Amino acid sequence: MRRLFGVEMADFQSWSSFVKLMNRPEDPSSLAAFRILFGILMMLDIPQEHGMSHADLYYPNEDRKCQFPLFNFLAPFRAEYMVVIYFIMFLGAVGITLGLFYRCSAIIFAITYWHIFLLDKTSWNNHSYLYGLLGFQLIFFDAHHYW
C-alpha cells in the first residue's frame, strides 16, 4: 500500500500516527503548479464566462431582482465601477498566477469574485461556486513559496 498511495494502514491506526502523517514534509511544487494553473484559468474565465467583456451592458439593468437569499442587500455599482471591479479581480488572478503579492492578490480575487457571484443568482453554476471556494482557500495556502 505504501508503494501505491505513499501511506500504510498503520498510519491511520492511532491519532498520533495520523497527525505525524499529516505533518510530514512534502514537495510544494504541486501546490505551485495548481496556483499557476488556477490563475491562468481565472484569467481566461473572467473576460469570457464571468462577463467582464459585457459588464458595461449588463449592469445598468435595474430590473434584476434574482438574488441569493440573505445577500439581497448587495447591489451592483454603476457600470463603469463594475468594469473596475472586474479589472481588479483580473489583476488578482494575474497576481495569483505570478505569485506577486500572493496573499493580497488572493484576498482581492476572492472578495471581488464573491461580490460579483452573489449579485446575480441566475449566473450560478457548480463550477462557479467551486472557483470561488478554491479562490478563498488560496488565501490560506502558502502556494507562493515555490516557483
Q: Which residue has the higher pLDDT, 66 or 21?
A: 21
- When the pLDDT of each residue in the chain is averaged and rounded to a whole number, the result is 86
Q: How confident is the model at residue 62 (pLDDT cuts 50, 70, 90)?
A: low
State mean pLDDT over 37-65: 76
Cα–chain-centroid distance for residue 93? 9
Indicate whether 147 pLDDT > 70.
Answer: yes
Grid cell in block for residue 92: 488578482
Grid cell in block for residue 19: 497527525
